[in-house]
Structure 1
Amino acid sequence: MDERLGAAEIGSRLGERATLVQFSTAFCAPCRATRRVLGEVAGMVDGVTHVELDAESHLDLVRRLNVVRTPTVLVLDADGRIVRRASGAPRKADVIAALGVATS
């Protein structure tokens, strides 16, 4: 998977080291927990940004990336390349481990 996302596509600047992109929907309970976990990790790790996208407002991106459920989290490296992808509410340790791949 050598798909890349840029600031124009996600509506925010990429993190210096990595970006956590979260696809959510309004009535998704696990999305709230995911928002909290990703926000905490982004606050702990320098150069990491968390961007949450409403899946319904970004259907072109959802289709292009084959996002079939929310939450779906993409880990982008500093160049916007997708290095990890997961569906469902992630554990903080798993997010930190995925960032290790993105920033190495």
Structure 2
Amino acid sequence: MWPGLIALLIAVLAAAAFALYRRRVDGRFRTTAAAVTAETSPAERLTEGDLGAPLGRSATVVQFSSEFCAPCRAAERVITDAVAGLDGVRYLDIDSETKLDLVRRLNILRTPTVVVTDDGGRIVARTAGVPTKQSLQAVLPAGAS
């Protein structure tokens, strides 16, 4: 009986630790190497051909979603609100299932994943999970207005 109870306790503690970790990292943008250096690899740049739509004049916010993703709908609301009134910023919602080659190239492991590019398509930041309005606006390039 004791080994089973100990195993259960370990499982509960592991689940709690994982939940705390996810709560800490979900929706937090991290900058990419492309944001720091002028050199970019194809994996760090998005083109109109990749996205099937033109890039924004100063920035593009790309959300990778899936049909049955409840957090994706919340992310869409946050992003739409964050970029409202920013003329140079374009928001694109990409169905991950229709762009599997791009999903693999960018190493997207879950939805929603949000990627922010500059005017040339260089990926400057990305996050997995639902971002906050403030965190998204903080990573938009300075020229985004």
- Short-chain TM bin: over 0.9
Gaps of 5+ in 2: 1-32, 34-39
| TM-score (normalizing by structure 2) | 0.67
Alignment correspondent of 1:89: 130
User: In the TM superposition, what are the counterparts of 1:2-41 in structure 2 within 5 Å?
Assistant: 2=40, 3-41=44-82
Gaps of 5+ in 1: none
Alignment correspondent of 2:105: 64
Of the two, which has the highest radius of gyration? 2
Whether the aligned pair in 2 keeps the contact of 1:78 and 1:103 (CA below 8 Å) is no
| TM-score (normalizing by structure 1) | 0.93
Bigger strand fraction: 1
Report the identity percentage: 50
Whether the aligned pair in 2 keeps the contact of 1:15 and 1:47 (CA below 8 Å) is yes
- Tell me the matched-pair count: 102
The Cα RMSD (Å) is: 1.1
Aligned to 1:97, what secondary structure does the other structure show? helix
Cα 1:80–1:87 shift into 2, 3 Å: same
Q: Which moved more, 1:15-24 or 1:43-52?
A: 43-52
